[in-house]
Amino acid sequence: MALCAESFIDLGAIGCYHIHESSMNFADALLYCQSLNADLATPSSLDPLRQYLLDNGKTGEYWVGLVRPSGWIDGRRDDPSEWDEGEPNDSGACARLRDSSDFKAADHGCLNSYKVICEQEV
């Protein structure tokens, strides 16, 4: 496993993640992650990231690198199991993980402000 940069946490097989607790819109979230030599999170499997957020008492909503209709911004297609029940419901082109659905994904407008999860590029 790659050594994670400072301020990134090692989540084993799915890589290194940075949880940013301040809110911003999706475009600014992309730029914020790039400023850390990272990108918005594109976990190869969403469940380990959800489990980390749950186990560490995280609350609120976090942008990740998931957009509609194309899927994860690294090119992986989104899986129906990654979305909350009733989502996506065409309420916007960007997706965040929200605590009210145990950090499953829900789409929403990209100009909304949410917290941010970045993933270190390795």
For Ca ion, the closer CB: 94 or 116: 94
The reply on whether position 106 binds Ca ion by CB under 5 A is: yes
The reply on whether position 59 binds Ca ion by CB under 5 A is: no
CA dist., res. 61 & res. 98, Å (int): 4
| Residue 75 φ/ψ, nearest 5 degrees | 100, -10
The reply on whether position 89 binds Ca ion by CB under 5 A is: yes
Q: Compute the least distance from the CB of residue 51 to Ca ion, in Å.
A: 23
DSSP 30: H
Give the binding range for Ca ion (CB under 5 A) out of 33-41, 63-71, 102-110, 112-120.
102-110
For Ca ion, the closer CB: 78 or 107: 107
The residue count for binding Ca ion (CB under 5 A) is: 5
The residue with tokens 């590029």 is 121
The reply on whether position 95 binds Ca ion by CB under 5 A is: no
Query: What binding mask, one character per residue, do residues 23-42 give for Ca ion by CB under 5 A, x or -?
Result: --------------------
Chain centroid to CA 92: how far? 16
The reply on whether position 100 binds Ca ion by CB under 5 A is: no
Among 64, 34, 29, smallest CA distance to 49 is for 64
Neighbours of 84 (CB within 10 A): 17
